Amino acid sequence: MIPSIPDIAQPDLARRLRHKLDNKTKPLGSLGRIEALAVQLGLILGSESPQLIRPQLVVFAGDHGLAARGVSAYPSDVTAQMVENFLSGGAAVSVLARQHGLALTVVDCGVRSVFSPRAGLIDRKIAAGTADCLGAPAMTPAQCAQAVHNGREIVAELGGNALLLGEMGIGNTSCASLLLARLAGRDLADCVGAGTGLDAAGVERKRRVLQEVMTFHANAIAPLDVLAAMGGFEIATMVGAVLEAAAGRRVIVVDGFISSAAVLVAQRLAPHVVQRCVFSHRSGEPGHALMLDQLAAGPGEPPRALLDLGLRLGEGSGAALAWPLLVSACALLDEMASFESAGVSGPRDGTPQAQR
């Protein structure tokens, strides 16, 4: 089930990429984090001139039995309604996908509605929503394994070399909080936020419910056991998608809190997954900063999100907003002139570029 995902650290290629950037017609390091992004994309794609081909923005949707406990400001019906909104082109992520030329696919991983077949929709429904994880595991081990398999299969069939993650599921910020608390050993209270817009009393109620869930599933420790006990069909399918994309050395553009939770599970199964991940933004959910700290590529290397705009919509909206930065990083690396080719004088001998 878990593919081989090797370390892609390549010191020689990284050195060549940095040398190429350092000799562009600019002061040394003057493009800031875009330069680091260009190096990362070159390492993921194994090229000094990386090209992003057929990017796929995939929204994974599923319902949650736990939502009946009042952990969200919105009813579960909204999951299915938003799937229809994605498919009709009216959602934020639909607009952004059109704007940036991203292929948008919606996957029904376990929504409590039946959708008519149409372009842009993939049916991988395992059940009509997960079980209420306060009284039973959200998924059986077989259901969880099937969801992970589905995610791998979907990515393999879509092709391209870049995957942008999106999700929809009323109640899934609760699942992300539970996964973070258990897999990272963090205090649950620090992992729980307002989600879809709960007031202070609602957040406190949510915390109480989730603490009961944590206690009920105290014996779930291994990553897949935790995922089955307290996750969701859409999150488990995303885990499979991340594993497959990483195994194929695709660029993985991670959206917010929920998609980061899927990456956290995948990282616990295959640590080098995170090398292929570009974290698009830091969410307004308080647990997301803790999640990013956990998703370190190495000691002392927590990933820095490209954007910090207070986003908390999900859907892949942050991934789509950050996408042009990846395109620009590749274009600058490939098309920007060097001092030599442009006939531009470099820094004076003995004067570091950074001081020019």
Catalytic residues: 315
Neighbour tally for 28: CB within 10 Å:
17
Listed residue (134, 129, 133, 140) closest to 75, CA to CA: 129
Q: Any idea what the Cα angle at residue 183 is, between residues 226 and 247, rounded to 5°?
A: 80
Listed residue (300, 301, 254, 257) closest to 279, CA to CA: 254
Residue 283: phi, psi to the nearest 5?
A: -70, 160
DSSP state for residue 199 in the 8-state scheme:
-
Please name every residue paired with 277 in a beta bridge, in sequence order, or none if there are none: 252
Q: Describe the crossing of helices 172-184 and 200-216 by its angle, rounded to 10 degrees.
A: 50
CA distance 131 to 353: 59
